[in-house]
Amino acid sequence: MRPVRIGVAVVLAVAAVVAALLATDLRSWNTAVRHGDAAFARDPATAAWTASTTLPFDPALRILSLSDQLAFRRAAQSFAQVEAAGNGVDNGYSESQARGALESVLTQLTAGADHHRDSDAENLLGILAFADSTQHGPNAAAPVERSVSDFQSAVQLDPANEAAKFNLELLLHRLLAKGVRPGSSSSPGGPSKGHKGAGGGVAGRGY
């Protein structure tokens, strides 16, 4: 029985060490998210959400279900950078590529399990789509109905999303003022929900 007791003691000791390391990794991620969010509020470009963890494969990240949360935070950071970018020396090509990549990430995030975060992603897509519809330059403007559709989806996902409701109401008001009936589309399938970067300037957070 002595070898069995020794084996049990070893297993318990290892489990205790793993539990302690896991607790440390969990605290590290909580601190990293808190500090990253604070930095984002001050200056989005300086924000970073990285934690120094010990356990292999970072189980703390999965336990806290942080993967999509971090993906959205980094997408919001990219949004702020794209929003501030101009056409640059290549007539907007680099910015167009960055926006296309950002829209692809945001589109993936709209299909998550967190409707509040999905709604925020749809709202950002709506802002980018509105910028596409009003751009100037060699590229043709995208249909404004895409922006309307994104804002509507954001409100449907989270009726408490005040930013999305504000953007939708303001955009509909502007369209009506121009004599454009919201929801009309020349395509047989109605407004498109596809997202493709189109270069040009980027609208602000709301209009």
pLDDT digits (tens, 9 = 90+) for 144-185: 899 999 999 999 999 999 999 999 999 999 999 888 776 544
Tell me what pLDDT residue 97 has. 82
The verdict on 56 and 142 lying in the same domain is: no
The verdict on 188 and 96 lying in the same domain is: yes
**Which residue type is seen at 122?**
E
Tell me what pLDDT residue 84 has. 82
Last residue of a domain, one of 64, 82, 116: 64
> Count of domains in the chain?
2
The verdict on 38 and 98 lying in the same domain is: no
Rg for the chain (alpha carbons), in Å? 23
Question: Can you give the residue range of the structural domain that contains 40?
Answer: 1-64
Q: Which residues contact 22 (CB under 8 A, 6 or more apart)?
A: 55, 59, 60, 63
Tell me what pLDDT residue 202 has. 30
Last residue of a domain, one of 64, 81, 115: 64
Q: Using an 8 Å Cβ cutoff, are 183 and 148 in contact?
A: yes
pLDDT tier at 199, thresholds 50, 70, 90? very low
The verdict on 179 and 83 lying in the same domain is: yes
CA distance 66 to 25: 13
SS3 202: coil
The verdict on 113 and 189 lying in the same domain is: yes
Q: Which residues contact 201 (CB under 8 A, 6 or more apart)?
A: 86, 87, 131, 135, 136
pLDDT in tens, 69-107: 999 999 999 999 888 875 554 545 667 788 889 999 999
Residue 170 C-alpha from the chain's centroid: 22
The verdict on 31 and 111 lying in the same domain is: no
The verdict on 102 and 192 lying in the same domain is: yes
Q: Look up tokens 């047989």; give the residue.
A: 188
What is the value of pTM for the model shown?
0.76
Instruction: Look at residue 201 and tell me whether its pLDDT is greater than 80.
Output: no
Instruction: Look at residue 61 and tell me whether its pLDDT is greater than 70.
Output: yes
CA distance 154 to 100: 20
Tell me what pLDDT residue 49 has. 97
Taking all residues of the chain, what is their mean pLDDT, rounded to a whole number?
83
The verdict on 83 and 93 lying in the same domain is: yes
The verdict on 75 and 54 lying in the same domain is: no
